[in-house]
Every structure is written in C-alpha cells, then in structure tokens.
Structure 1
Amino acid sequence: MSRRYVQGGHRGGITVCAKHFPGHGDTTGDTHREIPVVDKSFAQLMQEDLWPFKAAVDAGVDLVMTSHIRYPQIDAAHPATLSAPILRGVLREQLGFGGIVISDSMNMGAIRRNYAPVEAALLAFKAGIDMMMLSEEHYDHDTAYLDNQLAMLDAIVADASAGRFPELDSIVSRVVAFKLARLQPMALYQDFNLPAHLEIEQQAAQAAVKILRDPARLLPIQAGQQVVVIQTTPLADYANLMNPRGIGPNQAISAFDYFAAEMSLHLEADRLLILDHDAAQAWLLDQASSSTALVLAVTENYPLPGEDFQQAASREMVDGLSRAMGPRLLVVGLRSGYEAINSDVPYLCAYSSRECSARAAARVCIGRA
C-alpha cells in the first residue's frame, strides 16, 4: 500500500512524505503529550514496523518524517527525532534513504516536556534531521515564541561558526537540491475536476462502511418502519472541532448533522424523528419504553492532535438506550469501530467522521447502498 501511494502521488505531481519513522503502529502513548517507548530489537522492527517504510523508500519517497518515540534497544538516550543511530544508522544506512528527513513538530509534548527548544533543535540537526517542522509554534500566542525562535537560530549559527556543525553543508545541499528538483517546478495551482474527485471520495467512503453486528437483520430499514435517529453527543462536546490551532479536523458541521440530513432525504417526515442529545434524554425517560421504532444511535470521534474528543456522555447515552430499547437499537459509528469490541449492541461502522462517510452510512441504513 505504501509503495502504491508513493507511485500514485508521483504520477499526480505530488511530493510524498512517509511518516512517522520508525512507526507508530505499536505505541500506546501519544507523542503530543509524552515520549512513548517501543521496546523492540532492530530485527523485530525490520520484520514488522519498517516494512512499509522500506517499500516507500524503494518506491522513491521524497521525504520521511520522524516520530518522537524512544526505541531503547537502538538508542537508550533519545527518541527517534533526536537519534543518530535511528536516523543515520537505520534510515540512511540500513534502508538506503537518500531524500529529506523532516522532523515531526518540535512543539509537541514529547519534545517540549523533556528538552529545551534550543537543545532539541541542535540535537535533531546533528542526529540527521534536514528540515525541522514547527521548532516553535504559538498555539496559544505565547509571548516567548519569538524569543525561542531567535535563540534557536543564534545557537545554530554559533555552532556552525565554531565548526561544531559539520553536517550543515550536506543538509543545505540536500534541501536546496530537493526544492529545485521537486518544488520549484511545481505549479501552485492546477486545474482539476472537483465533481470527479468527490465521486471517488464517495465511492471510497461507501466501500468502507461495514455492518459489524446485526443478528436481528435490523438493516436495511424496512418499509413503513418508524425510525428515531439520536445524537448521542451533547452539543457542547463539539466546541473544539474548530480551534485556533487550525490543524484539524476543522469540521464546522458535525458528522451527525450530515447523517441526519441524508436520512431526511430518503425517509418520509412522518416516519423519521431526529433528536439531539438533550431531546433524546427526555424521549428516553418519557417515550422510549412504549416505542416500537428502530433507534439509530449515532456515535462520533474526531482526530484532535494532542487532545481528546469527549465521548463519556455519548457512551452513557448508548448504555441507557440499550437498556430501554433492547433489540430495537443499532449504533451507527461515524468513527473507528473500536468501541464495538466490548459490546453486543448491533453496530454499523463508517470508519470516519467526514461528510462522505456519514452520508454513506445513512445510505446503507436505508438500503440505498
């Protein structure tokens, strides 16, 4: 898959980066907050985690982004971003990568909570980083932002002037050659067929939807069946989907709203009741026990780097609905399917919280896909 991704990107004129080296596939910690540890030998990594990176390198990937993960059996002192044994020894020498090594954000908790900004920058460049991403980022408009940036630049200049940064010439040569070869000729804007792209997006989203559990064959919704669509997430929990950091998911309209809109397109108004979290709580107390409707409880999760989308209230709502509705409840997960593991409630999963996935899930529910 990584080889095909690189090849497809290059055919489309896109510069491709593989990340986060040597791999986040076996971590339990979040590098936005801490330094996770993966205690594997080099042989284990080569047999497991490094396969997709090796395929990407062999396919000519342009950049490799590092991870702030520590691999004590390779480097007991530093995470990969600051580790010469990992960046020079494994990536350059073992995998044969000759392109640009770019750091993950140096403003993440794994780095900022364990290293001073200047120390981290010098360690990273001397370990094998060619380009540094966000050595200082004013998420919160910290007044120290500019001072830290200038201190980092001054330290690099001082080390280079004193002859303590022999790697600098090769770094500059690689970066300039890369920009001239790959970025300078690239058109800033290209004509594209937006409807065709959206069609591909919708096809991919539709193909991903999967009914993980439905023993009573609740789906597709039968003709004449009354349906209650419930937003298990309180409105307040969506507040951070648009935030000043600007790095995602930047989704002003919730996945639930798209799902409900698609359901409304295909079901008659007198068959469909759409309830937000507060209205659903009242309905659960007053009417659920006497209802014969099929209840679709929509759960959501969103990628918020370094933060978490609140889900406790949503889980409580699903638990309450399960007790009240029994076999007439089906969860529609506009998210990953992990929450379905420890439950026996019927479950449809869209594997995404984007509009295309929410609408695709609705079409499966109503039997249009």
Structure 2
Amino acid sequence: MIGISINGLESQGMKATFKHFPGIGQVVNNTHHFLAELELSVSELNKHDWLPFKQIVENSDAIIMLSHVILTKVDRVNPVSFSYKVVKNIIRDAWQFKGVLISDYLTMGAADSHGLCNSSVNALNAGIDLLLISYNYEKIYDAMFCVNRAFENGALRSDMLVLRQKRLAQGLQFYRSHPTSAH
C-alpha cells in the first residue's frame, strides 16, 4: 500500500511525505497543545508502529515528518523532532535513512514548551532538514534569527550542515526530473 501511494503521488509530480514518526496512535495527549509521551520500547515500536516507516526508508526516498512526541525509553527530555538520540542514532545511523526529514510545526504546544530557539537549533543538530513553522508566521523570523545566531556562534554542527545540503539538493532533483509538478 505504501508503494502504491508513493508511486501515485510521484507520478503526478508530488513528493510523498509520511507522518507522524514515531507513530502517534497510542499517544494520549494532543501535541498541538500539550507535551505527549510514548512509553514503548524500541523493540515494541519495531514490531508495530515503525513498520510503515521502515518500509519507506527501505523502498523510497519519501520525506518523513517527525512529531513532537517524547519517546521515554530513548530520550526522556526531547521530543523525537529534535532528539539527537532518535534522529541521528536511530533514523540516520541504524536505519541508514538518507532522505529528507521535516519537523512537525515548531509552534505547537509540545515543541514550543521547549522554546523556539532551542527546538530549532536542536532539530537541525539532530539531523532534521526542514523546520516547519505554520499558523504563527512571524515566528519564522524568530527561528531564522536563532539559527543564524547559532551558526555564527559555532553552535550548529557543521557535519550536519553539509549532509543537509546534500539531502536537500537530492530532494530538489525530484522536481527537476518531474516537469509536470507545480513548484
């Protein structure tokens, strides 16, 4: 089913994006407003919740959106959207995902409670490629200021910047090779 969805979207010039990693079906709180935790082990997640995401990683270069759920058995402090332990250690290293990762929007309650600057910089340092900010558009400038300041102060990991540039350039190749897409 995932392959059919990806093929259908991409045949029409639209890049597929799958969300919300790590799977939020068993999450009680709504991350739009509150912090939310998922208290499943990596082993449990591998058996169920992560199966569709692993299919994506193994069979496509679709974009994956990460939610602001805290995986308590991996990182008790940071939501997956800016958890180095989840993004770098699991998705990037263990799964070898080389595609584009995008955060859910950083002005949601679960992310905003960590502060926009902290969330933005930590997400980029963890290996997220695109930061989503919506509904509160003036916050884009705040996030840009924070990221720029972190870059100037050497707080952004240079190795992540180089890899991000490669992933985003590769992602743009999709649109160059699909002239029917509206971009």
What TM-score range do you get, normalising by the shorter chain? 0.7 to 0.9
Tell me by how many angstroms 1:72 deviates. Answer: 0.8
**Other-structure match for 1:96:** 96
Equivalent residue for 2:167, pick from 137, 162, 174: 174
| Distance in 1 of aligned mates of 2:29 and 2:153 | 39
Do structure 1's residue 47 and structure 2's residue 44 form an aligned pair? Answer: no
Looking at CA atoms only, which structure, 1 or 2, has the larger radius of gyration? Answer: 1
Tell me by how many angstroms 1:188 deviates. Answer: 4.1
Equivalent residue for 1:164, pick from 131, 143, 155: 155
Aligned AA (1:97): F
**Other-structure match for 1:129:** 128
**Other-structure match for 1:118:** 117
| Distance in 2 of aligned mates of 1:110 and 1:131 | 18
Aligned AA (1:137): Y
Q: Is the 8 A contact 1:2 1:53 kept in 2?
A: no
Identity among equivalent positions (%) equals: 23
SS of 2:37's equivalent?
A: coil
Aligned AA (1:39): E
| Distance in 2 of aligned mates of 1:107 and 1:72 | 22
| Distance in 1 of aligned mates of 2:146 and 2:36 | 28
Gaps in structure 1 of 5+ consecutive residues: 139-144, 190-369
Tell me by how many angstroms 1:177 deviates. Answer: 2.8
User: Runs in 1 of length 4+ with deviation above 4 angstroms?
Assistant: none
| Distance in 1 of aligned mates of 2:32 and 2:126 | 21
SS of 1:37's equivalent?
A: strand
**Other-structure match for 1:11:** 11
Greater relative contact order, per chain length (Cα 8 Å cut-off, separation 6+):
2
State the TM-score, normalizing by the size of structure 1: 0.46
| Distance in 1 of aligned mates of 2:161 and 2:87 | 16
Aligned residues, how many?
179
Cα displacement string for residues 139-182 of structure 1 (whole angstroms, at most 9, x for unaligned residues): xxxxxx53x43332222222222332122222123212311x11
| Distance in 1 of aligned mates of 2:166 and 2:152 | 18
| Distance in 2 of aligned mates of 1:162 and 1:28 | 38
Cα displacement string for residues 327-346 of structure 1 (whole angstroms, at most 9, x for unaligned residues): xxxxxxxxxxxxxxxxxxxx
| Distance in 1 of aligned mates of 2:175 and 2:11 | 15
Q: Is the 8 A contact 1:160 1:168 kept in 2?
A: no
| Distance in 1 of aligned mates of 2:33 and 2:145 | 28
